[in-house]
Structure 1
Amino acid sequence: MKKVYFKTFGCRTNQFDTQVMMSKLKDYELTDNELSSDIIVVNSCTVTNGADSSVRNYISSMQRKNPDAKVILAGCGSHSKGESLFEDKKVFGVIGHSEKENINAILKNENPFYQIGDLEHIDSTIVEEFVGKSRAFIKIQEGCDFRCSYCIIPAVRGDARSHKEETILEQINKLAANGFGEFILTGTNVGSYGQDHNTSMAKLLKKMSMIRGVRRIRIGSMEPIQIDDEFLELLNEPWMAKHMHIALQHTSDKMLKLMNRRNEFKSDLALFRKIADQGYALGTDYIVGHPGEDEKEWSEAISRVKELPLTHVHAFSYSKRDNTPSATMKPEVRGNIAKERHRELTAIIKAKNFAFRREHTQNLEVLLESGQDGVYQGFDQYFNKVSVTSDEDLTSNWVLLNDVEVSNEGNKAKV
């Protein structure tokens, strides 16, 4: 039986898509050794030019290290760079998002293939296991209707469309029955769920919470304008993780307009304070060094960051993405300046996170995901990482901690 290795780049949505493909392999053996595999499926990311480079470099390295393996390109990069990589014979085959459920048959092709499919497809696969995972990722929607000036994702994922509610709930039922207790809702633009099915994220969450075995639900990145009163009413439910990731991207209103964003700082601040008052940790995405970000705008932006009750940040130095409006904007920000702004931003949020962790050392519910030599790693309800020392094997177990040592490096405990 031929061996297949999956290499996944990028976001949680890609991680889910890889699990979909794995679940469809009936005539192949999964392997975690890329050098002994017969087929390498690269689930690619194309969010920046740098992401494209990482994928190309990986493909080139596999051509050197495992020249006999057939390399198959999947993921977002198949729509942006698949044709050129295929024509240059860098990959044996290319499959688009809509083709991943047919991967078992597609891999049987003896001749090179280019099956890009369409951008309107919605998966129907029920994933019952997540290989090597304690938490389950649940993709609830696909695509995005936003047109942020720096982003190519709508062009490679399509417009927003929701998965069927019954499919989502059936999947959670089966995963819960298989021992999964924490579920992370993911997608290209998670907060748009339900807009095409006359339902909402809040209604879905309520139905999920009624499934036996569901202990904690996390939600992927949402947009500020997608958080309505119906959703806010659920904040104190015991099954809601006490952490939300709300994508701001910037705190200067001028920069938000340049980025073609739909949020503005005044309402963002009010929303963050309202949620933080309910005991939540709050994270965000933030782009520094986008064209047009001069010293005046940055000074205003960073002072506003200090006002926000943030505890986590996924910060990016702007990286040009070809075929987007931002790619031609001027003036550009020099790399060394962007790097310094990135450092300044992350240092502020790190200090905020440390202060938050010092105030939250009791009743920490941690799902331990991995470990070795008696030290296990997991995340609490606030999405802070905790290292737990124990003489017992605690992998995939939940622990309740009330005695946690807090340091700049992270939280530690013994059980």
Structure 2
Amino acid sequence: MKKVFFKTFGCRTNQFDTQVMISRLKEFELTTDENSSDIIVVNSCTVTNGADSSVRNYISSMKRKNPNAKVILAGCGSHSKGESLFEDKKVFGVMGHSEKEKINEILKKETRFYEIGDLEHIDSTIVEEFVGKSRAFIKIQEGCDFSCSYCIIPSVRGKARSHKEETILEQIQRLAANGFGEFILTGTNVGSYGQDHGTSMAKLLKKMSMIRGVRRIRIGSLEPIQIDDEFMELLNEPWMAKHLHIALQHTSDKMLELMNRRNRFEEDIRLFNKIASLGYALGTDFIVGHPGEGEKEWKEAIERVKELPLTHIHAFSYSKRDNTVSATMKPEIRGNIAKERHRELTELVKAKNYAFRRAHTDNLEVLLENGKEGIFYGFDQYFNKVEVRSEEDLGSNWVLLNRVEVQPDGNSAKI
């Protein structure tokens, strides 16, 4: 039986997609050793140039380390870079998103193939297990209808489309029966769930919470305009993780307009302050160095970040993507300037996170991942990582911590 290794790059949606492929393997052996595998499936990310480079570098390294393995490109990169990698014979095959449920048949192919499929497919697979995970990722939708100037994702994931509610709920029921208690909702644009089915994220959450075994629900990145009154009414529910990631991308209204974003700072800060008043930690995405971000715009942006009750940030320097509006914009920002702005921003939010953790040191509910040598790691309800030392095997267990040691780089406790 041939051995298959899966290498996953990028977001939680990709992690879920890998689990879909794993669940569909019938005539192959799953392995965790890439160097001895017969087939390597690369579930790729293409959100930035850096992501593309990481995928290419990995493929090149495996061609050297395991030259006899067949390398198959899957994921978003198959739509943006698959054709060139296939033509250059860097990969044995290329498969698009719509083909992943056919993985068992695809891996049987003895000749090179390029099967990109379409961008309208929606999965029907019920994933009942997450290999090597304590938390379960649940993909509830696919694609995005936004047209942000800098983003390539709609062209590689397609238009927004929701998974069927009954499929989502059945999947959660099965996973909960298999011992999973924390569920993370993911997708390309999670907050758009239900818009094509006459329902909403809030209605789905209510039904999820009623499933026996569901202890905590986290939600992937939301857009500010997707947080309505119906959703706000759920924020005091005990099963809601006390952390929301709300994508702002910038705090200068000029930059938001250039990015073709639908949010503006005045509304954003009102929303953030309201949610923070309910005891929530708040994260966001932020792009630094986008064309047009002059010194005036940056100074305004960083002062506004200081006003926001932020605790987490996913900041990255602008990366030009072909076939996007931003790629044609001027003036471009030099890399060294973007790097310094990235450092300033992340250090600012790191300090905010430290202050938040110092104010929240008790009643921390942590789901621990598998550990070794008596050291375990997990995340509390505020999405802060905690190191727990114990002589007991606490892997995949929930612990309630009433006292943690708070350091600038993280929390720790001993049980």
TM-score category, normalised to shorter length: over 0.9
- Say whether residues 1:169 and 2:169 are aligned partners: yes
Moved more, 54-63 or 4-13: 54-63
* Alignment match, 1:276: 276
Equivalent-residue separation in structure 2 for 1:168 and 1:103 (angstroms):
21
Equivalent-residue separation in structure 1 for 2:346 and 2:106 (angstroms):
44
Equivalent-residue separation in structure 2 for 1:389 and 1:79 (angstroms):
44
Which structure 2 residues correspond to residues 208-357 of structure 1 after superposition, within 5 A?
208-357=208-357
* Alignment match, 1:38: 38
C-alpha displacement of 1:128: 0.3
C-alpha displacement of 1:50: 1.8
* Alignment match, 1:106: 106
Equivalent-residue separation in structure 1 for 2:60 and 2:322 (angstroms):
22
* Alignment match, 2:73: 73
Asked if 2 retains the 8 angstrom alpha-carbon contact of 1:291 and 1:329, the reply is yes
Moved more, 78-87 or 289-298: 78-87
Q: Over the residues paired in the alignment, what is the CA RMSD in angstroms? A: 0.6
Query: Secondary structure of 1:370's match?
Result: coil
* Alignment match, 1:120: 120
Return the letter of the residue paired with 2:403.
D
Equivalent-residue separation in structure 2 for 1:174 and 1:396 (angstroms):
17
Equivalent-residue separation in structure 1 for 2:73 and 2:330 (angstroms):
34
Count of residue correspondences: 415
C-alpha displacement of 1:370: 2.6
* Unaligned 5+ runs, structure 2: none
Equivalent-residue separation in structure 2 for 1:97 and 1:141 (angstroms):
13
* Alignment match, 2:366: 366
Return the letter of the residue paired with 2:12.
R
Asked if 2 retains the 8 angstrom alpha-carbon contact of 1:49 and 1:322, the reply is no
Question: Cα deviations across residues 353-411 of structure 1 (Å, max 9, x unaligned)?
Answer: 01100110110000001311111100000000011111100000000010111111211
Query: Secondary structure of 1:101's match?
Result: helix
* Alignment match, 1:203: 203
Question: Cα deviations across residues 126-155 of structure 1 (Å, max 9, x unaligned)?
Answer: 000000000000000000000101100000
C-alpha displacement of 1:310: 0.2
* Alignment match, 1:16: 16
Return the letter of the residue paired with 1:252.
S
Q: Provide TM-score, normalisation by structure 2.
A: 0.99
Equivalent-residue separation in structure 2 for 1:50 and 1:182 (angstroms):
31
Moved more, 254-263 or 44-53: 44-53
Q: Provide TM-score, normalisation by structure 1.
A: 0.99
Equivalent-residue separation in structure 1 for 2:328 and 2:34 (angstroms):
39
Return the letter of the residue paired with 1:15.
Q
* Alignment match, 1:129: 129
Moved more, 278-287 or 400-409: 400-409
Query: Secondary structure of 1:16's match?
Result: helix
Return the letter of the residue paired with 2:47.
V
Asked if 2 retains the 8 angstrom alpha-carbon contact of 1:151 and 1:324, the reply is yes
C-alpha displacement of 1:58: 1.0
Equivalent-residue separation in structure 2 for 1:123 and 1:309 (angstroms):
37
Equivalent-residue separation in structure 2 for 1:387 and 1:99 (angstroms):
39
Equivalent-residue separation in structure 1 for 2:15 and 2:224 (angstroms):
25
Equivalent-residue separation in structure 1 for 2:293 and 2:77 (angstroms):
28
* Alignment match, 1:405: 405
C-alpha displacement of 1:321: 1.2
Equivalent-residue separation in structure 1 for 2:34 and 2:391 (angstroms):
33
* Unaligned 5+ runs, structure 1: none
Equivalent-residue separation in structure 2 for 1:49 and 1:313 (angstroms):
20
C-alpha displacement of 1:319: 1.2
Query: Secondary structure of 1:125's match?
Result: coil
Equivalent-residue separation in structure 1 for 2:108 and 2:88 (angstroms):
22
Question: Cα deviations across residues 92-138 of structure 1 (Å, max 9, x unaligned)?
Answer: 11100000000001111111111111000000000000000000000
Asked if 2 retains the 8 angstrom alpha-carbon contact of 1:284 and 1:313, the reply is yes
Runs (4+) of structure 1 exceeding 4 A deviation are: none
Asked if 2 retains the 8 angstrom alpha-carbon contact of 1:141 and 1:162, the reply is yes
Query: Secondary structure of 2:6's match?
Result: strand
Equivalent-residue separation in structure 2 for 1:204 and 1:184 (angstroms):
13
* Alignment match, 2:50: 50
Query: Secondary structure of 1:7's match?
Result: strand
C-alpha displacement of 1:320: 1.2
